[in-house]
Structure 1
Amino acid sequence: MKNRILDHFGLKVLSLIIAIVIWVIVANVDDYTTTKQISGIEIEFINGDAITEKNKVYEVPEGTVIDIIVKGRRSIVEKLTNEDFKAVADLSKMSITNAVAVNVSAVSSRIDKELTISYTNNAVNIAVEEKLQKQLPITVRTSSEVADGYAIRNKTASPNLITVEGAESVVNTIEEVVVDVDVNGASESLSAYAAPVFLDKNGNEIDSSKFDYDVKEVEVSVEVLKTKELTVRVKTQGEPKKGYAVASINYQPTSILVVGEAADLAKVDEVVIDDIDVTDCSKDLETPITLADYLPSGITLAEDTQEVMVKVAIEEIEEKTLVISGDEINIVGKSGELNYEFKDNISYILKVRGLRENLDNLKVTNLIPSIDVSGYDVGTYKFSVNFKEIKGIEILDNIEAELEITQVQ
């Protein structure tokens, strides 16, 4: 047996060596060295506090990935994907030009030793800015319309302030912060929760992912109450300068829409502005009046109009002379048994005073001159002539008319 094993021993060893060599050759041919491009390896940025500790913020380019070429044995390389690699950019080692180097390695240290990794874009430029913190009020913005006969009296947000922090160039574009609530058809007060919306000076929405803010949800309350239209009246107080008078009072609006509880609305029908002081005025007076100052408790304005614009026209008083004949004087209380005749058909001079617009069209007939002869018998008498009172007209003269009363023949 031993002889059989030892027979041709050298030949057998040679055969074994040849077999091993052939296996190595075949193995090397089958598992040759190859290369492969692997794309889309996401870059991880570390040590960002090296920037933020300096009161700065940074922004990496969107979709920051790197492509590599790996070289190694086919059996290893052909199975590799981008998930088998990690790309790291250390922000603490950023250059003065804000560029940071990217280091790529295999996740498995065993595989990493088997590969040669190469890539051309081995640095990423980082945007670095000063950090800015800004506090802004939160405004409630409603959409749609409440039910007919109702209006919004008050809108509140809780909290009503929000703190924003981020890159100076971004934060400075924030002009307004609003929360939106839909009030379509509302006939009672409502509340809701809404996320803040950030707007620039043109009213365009700003992407809130570009900065940090401390309020993610805002409680909104909208007070919806009934409305009522009220008449506006304006009156003056005091007297203009001697020789002048109030010619007219013009104002807008002449009515306003208010909002309040039904019980409060039932108590009011008009708004009276009665303290327009014209004391010693000799020229027109124009003044804005704040409506809210004249509204009763529990009532507020339901529209944007906040003021009444008042113009008081002040004009100089003028005089006018009228001639009155006896035929124009009415005789009151006459008896059918007596005749009445004015003595000598005398005409009477009457001076009146007032504003030009009142005097221009004033006639004797407007004043309805009259005397009362009730109880008078035959004889000649002097009677004081009475005149109808006309607003804006002052009678300056006291006229006496002589009347002869005779018996009817």
Structure 2
Amino acid sequence: MPKNMAPQQIFLSSILLSILSLNHIATSIENCPVQYCGSGSSSVRVKFPFQIINNPWRVRNPRCGYPRFELACVRNQTILMLPVPGSEPFVVLNIDYSVQTLNINDPQNCLPRRYLNDFSLGNFPFHPDLVTDFTFLNCSSNSTAETAFKHRIVPCLSDDNYTVLAVPTRHYEGSKLPPPISLCEIIRSVMVPVSLWGYGTGVEDDIRLTWTDPYCAPCEDRGEVCGFKSDVGLATGCSDLSSSGTSKGTKYAIIIGVGVPGTLLIIGLGCCYLCRKVGSGHESQLGRRRRPITEISTAITLPPPAIVVNGLDRLTIESYPKTLLGESGRLPKPNDNTCSICLGEYEPKQTLRTIPECNHYFHAECIDKWLRMNASCPVCRNSPDGSSLATPSTTSTSTSSSRSSSVLSP
């Protein structure tokens, strides 16, 4: 961060970053739009916890979908891929978010073929309502009539030469089937997902799957949107979006993000204002403390030559050593850095004058005016050499020859 950046700019920048971060977390649910594969009334509405991962016109946001709820768009169809090596995809026909179910089927409309090829959901978050054991039978071509309600013809596996029947295994074993069904050959017995309503729908109908985690049904029932609570972790929650598109969570975050920093900003600006006022008042007070000596000295009228005063004459004062401070401001006595007359600190290139009898030094202009009125040191009150006391007409040639000026190098 640049050193010359004002404190106000630093403070405002930190407030802006806080507001942006709060708003980003609060709108994590809102930034996930509903997606579709294709158009029309048959299109499946895809939203959290599902997400289409290959939409070419959108940049995928990984926080818009729950892990293992990925879908894909293929030829305007919504496709679900099972996490089983070599498994073929399924077409998603419907998603009911209020009861957390989805209906899938085979793209070739032949689910029985999938069942006979070791169908498995694998490590998947979805599970069917119920599974039951079915026995598939290969019968001759003249076995086309269904002899009972439970014996279903499988059209997608049958042709002109043979007919395939699907029979619940518990109805097939131990029963005396009349010919020609009793002459059919067993193809295989497999577990088939079925509806809770029973077997009347057949083995070719849609597979109805249910998920339990994440649990978003309450959000759907209240007309709210389900999504991650934050940008980290898998905790989910509901967001009540208003007609303007801003959720309660976002409004709350804006109030907190703007109100609290705004209050701190007002307090900070108030402190800065008070500091400046106090600083300017201190400077003006210091200036007033330095002015009285000059104002008093200029207001005094020198007495007539015939009157004796207690001060020193000009030549005597000028005979005292003078010191010109260098750029570094190095003083003869480092601890003595303030003029005792004007109370101002010594600065570079200022001229100082020293009283030789006590070695106390002051601003030259300050001590000159002082000694014209007082023949004693302002600090120790010791008087210089008594021979220096005289009337304005008195001269001091003996001391003038012994005084000199010096310059302190930088």
Query: Which TM-score tier does this pair reach, normalised by the shorter chain?
Result: under 0.3
Higher strand fraction: Structure 1 or Structure 2? 1
| Higher helix proportion | 2
TM-score norm. by structure 1 comes to 0.21
Q: Which has the higher contact order (CA 8 A, sep 6+)?
A: 2
TM-score (norm 2): 0.21
